[in-house]
Structure 1
């Protein structure tokens, strides 16, 4: 049942909500203050009435104590009548023990039974009595006289003193009407002023909205102002700016990646197209066609490797790379890779050396691919007659594997990008000999999928790539960074 109300509330703008809250808060405060003042005034009127009524009641009690006979009681009623001259709205009634009215002012037509009951049950306690269209606040009590009854006990009479409070009620009614009118006017004024205040207060939000509307794929460099808006909104603007920076960086990387993909695929496609067109330009022998098909097959293999590598990177970016972990001896894995690269190392007159040993919980195929990429990269850039060293070192919470080669150093500005996709330190090199340019990016993705990190360093002619892998999944991960 409450859902339609919630939907209706959600359609109300923030300005309207805050304005409504201001109106409700101000009206509640004014109403509360008004009721407190009204109660205070009412109590003040009651205190004034009680002061007068108590005085008359005490005067009556003292006078009754000096009544010694029935004649004196008659004289008492005359004196009481004289004492009430000029007290407009004051009514007095005296009733004997037989519930007979001994004395009553002109308008004191109260029910004797009511007066006796009030005097018996709540003596000297104020009560409201209704008589015709008038309301009275009265006191009732039972007082002794100096007259002795048949049993020798003091004769007691009932005395009621009441004051007309009609003028008090008229004042309170007028006061409450004025209060309601004032609250209504104040609520209206508060709503207007609140709307203006909220509208101006939310101006930075509207400015942020206008600037956010201008953010497009082609204009991700825009940022929201932080120093010119309130502190509460500055935190939101800062968070949005950081989000825009991340989006801009991701979009830039995606744009560059798309451009690199197009550039990388354009070369083999262009080669295939050129060779095919040349082949079809005239009739050729079977050996020529075989040679061209073999060349085309190499280009197709290169494209297939590139597509496979890009699929692996896409899965790693989205956490879809599934690991088949097992305990591996790193020395055994490295020796197996040495056997695979032995021919290439012998061709370049490079020595492969392994130092240390250790175990790690990892996916065998993915770990071999990461290490193979590092070894391939090291052999490709190693100086002739030099040594490529693989060092394995056990750490407190994992293992560290480094691959170092002697050769031309990598410039510091290039070290920051060696793990970028399709990045090559020397773009002028033959692409056919440089692979797809995704090897180090894939290595980084594999290391990160294992919860590790990889870094690169190049000093004094020695380039070192270092992988740090935790002992198991869930170990303390260190964010991947490039040194």
Structure 2
């Protein structure tokens, strides 16, 4: 259940993350506070021991090393279970000269060499649920031999340790309660803070396929939500544009197919209702074959575009002589160009790394349009230019040209600048869409420019 909430609920995840952050911070603060207090306790114990040693040294010095003088400061007999400090004094030979009565109960006698190893070092000792701070020191005897005693002094820290345990328990309880309280408070505030997102969701729900012109309101939105709403509005614009293009495509496709299908239906009806001679039947079949060819051409071009739009079109690049390939395409169009007395000039040379079939297909579509829409006795120029990043092929004609406002639509399927002109020249309106797909498959660039004084410039850029 918890794992499902973490996966599916943004509010729960945010609350959990913020709550966990608060918990971690509280744990860090509590731990630091605990150890600061613990260090303070041990620092106080160390300070107490040092002060006691100074007092004992002073007493011995004043009484010329008489250990009985220490009775003024040290209570050797047990007074309670919580005596704050205990003392044991050794001779240099390790003999116990004087000790608090409780000392032996917790700390057995040790040889001098072990005491000297940990001289002046504060040690923490836990014995039978009692806690002590222990230090081994040297004490001047102030006798004629100028000898020294070895002393163990113990500070009872049981009360402080119990206080630290209670503190740790209380801090843990406070931390858990704080986490739970923080979690529920954050749930409330996050729900309150996400109300604009709820409003955006309701606006999105109200948008359907027939209301794609609607846009999400950016009024009173937070700076975090505005980029999301802007992105969604741009998505709606793209969807609306694509649907409009799809509707236009469907209408254009129906229009393109309707004419040949109507012609086929009429010729078939004539054939069924009239006795035909061999010549008449042959003429009708020839006309029908032309219409079938036209339909097949449209379908083949649409399938070609569909493959490349779906990124399924395969290309096999090879290094080609660019000028030689262009000359082959020009030779194919030479007969049509000569009918209109159109000259085609090629300038430049170089190699190009492309798919041969697709490259010829792209050039054929561009050059076919140039020859079709050029006036008689016109000139078509083809330039080959090597650049650092690839090869630029420019095809320039001096025909009627294309309005600047229409250039961005030239690669749309079935788009025609002038329906009347297209009906007289033929074509399906798919040529430049195919060119764009081929250029995109090569990761190149297709550009249209206005020629001077009139005409159209088409630039095909193929990268290295």
Normalising by structure 2, we get a TM-score of 0.77
| Secondary structure of 1:194 counterpart | helix
Pick aligned residue for 2:45 from 49, 57, 65: 49
**Residue 336 in structure 1 maps to residue 331 in structure 2:** yes
The aligned residue for residue 164 of structure 2 is: 172
Q: Which residue of 1 aligns with 2:175?
A: 183
User: Which of structures 1 and 2 has the bigger CA Rg?
Assistant: 1
Instruction: Tell me the distance in 1 between the aligned counterparts of 2:88 and 2:437.
Output: 107
Is residue 135–residue 166 contact of structure 1 (8 Å, CA) maintained in 2?
yes
Distance 1:183 1:115, change over 3 A: farther
Residue 19 in 1 paired to residue 10 in 2?
no
1:214 positional shift:
5.9
**Contact 2:134 / 2:153 at 8 angstroms: preserved in 1?**
yes
- CA gap of 1:380–1:27, structure 2 versus 1, over 3 A, is closer
Q: What residue number does 1:455 align with?
A: 448
2:459 to 452, 463, 468: 468
SS, match of residue 347 in structure 2: coil
Can you list the C-alpha shifts for 1:233-286, whole angstroms capped at 9, x where unaligned? 544554454444444433432332222112211222122223323443454554
The partner residue of 1:402 within 395, 398, 406 is 395
Structure 2: distance between partners of 1:80 and 1:414? 108
User: Residue 6 of structure 2 contacts residue 13 of structure 2 at CA under 8 Å; is this kept in 1?
Assistant: no
Deviation at 1:358, TM superposition (A): 3.4
Offset, 1:183: 1.0
Question: Is the 2:123–2:134 Cα contact (8 Å) retained in structure 1?
Answer: yes
Per the alignment, residue 481 of structure 1 pairs with none
In 2, distance between residues paired with 1:364 and 1:68? 115
Contact 1:227 1:234 in 2 (8 A): no
Matched, 1:359 2:349: yes
Match of 2:57 among 55, 61, 73: 61
Change (3 A) 1:258 1:180: same
Alpha carbons 2:84, 2:156 under 8 Å: kept: yes
* Residue segments in structure 2 that go unaligned for 5+ positions in a row: none
The answer to whether the aligner puts 1:392 opposite 2:385 as a matched pair is no
* CA positional deviation for 1:463: 2.6
Structure 1 residue 256 corresponds to structure 2 residue 255: no
Q: How far apart, in 2, do the equivalents of 1:368 and 1:156 lie? A: 109
The alpha carbon displacement at 1:24 in A equals 2.5
Contact 1:444 1:454 in 2 (8 A): no
Aligned partners of 2:446 and 2:460 also within 8 Å? yes
**d(CA) in 2 for partners of 1:307, 1:242:** 33
> What do the CA deviations read for 1:342-384 (whole angstroms, capped 9, x no partner)?
57x2xxxx4222344333646676666555555654555555x
Query: In structure 2, what is the Cα distance between the partners aligned to 1:246 and 1:430?
Result: 29
Moved more, 128-137 or 295-304: 128-137
The change in CA–CA distance for 1:130 and 1:101 in structure 2 (over 3 A counts) is farther
Q: Find the counterpart in structure 2 of residue 437 from structure 1.
A: 429
What's the Cα RMSD here? 4.3
- Structure 1 unaligned segments of length 5 or more: list them: 476-483
Question: Contact 1:96–1:157 at 8 Å: present in 2 too?
Answer: yes
Instruction: Select which of 132, 140, 145 maps to 2:141.
Output: 145
SS of residue matched to 1:169: helix
Instruction: Give the direction of change, closer, same or farther, for the CA distance of 1:277–1:12 in structure 2 (3 Å limit).
Output: closer
Distance in 1 separating the partners of 2:104 and 2:297? 115
In the alignment of these two chains, the number of paired residues is 451
Cα-to-partner distance string for 1:35-66 (whole Å, 9 max, x where unaligned): 22222222222333333333332222232234
Question: 1:422·1:437 contact (CA, 8 Å) conserved in 2?
Answer: yes
Q: Pick closer, same or farther for the CA change 1:42–1:267 going to 2, 3 Å.
A: same
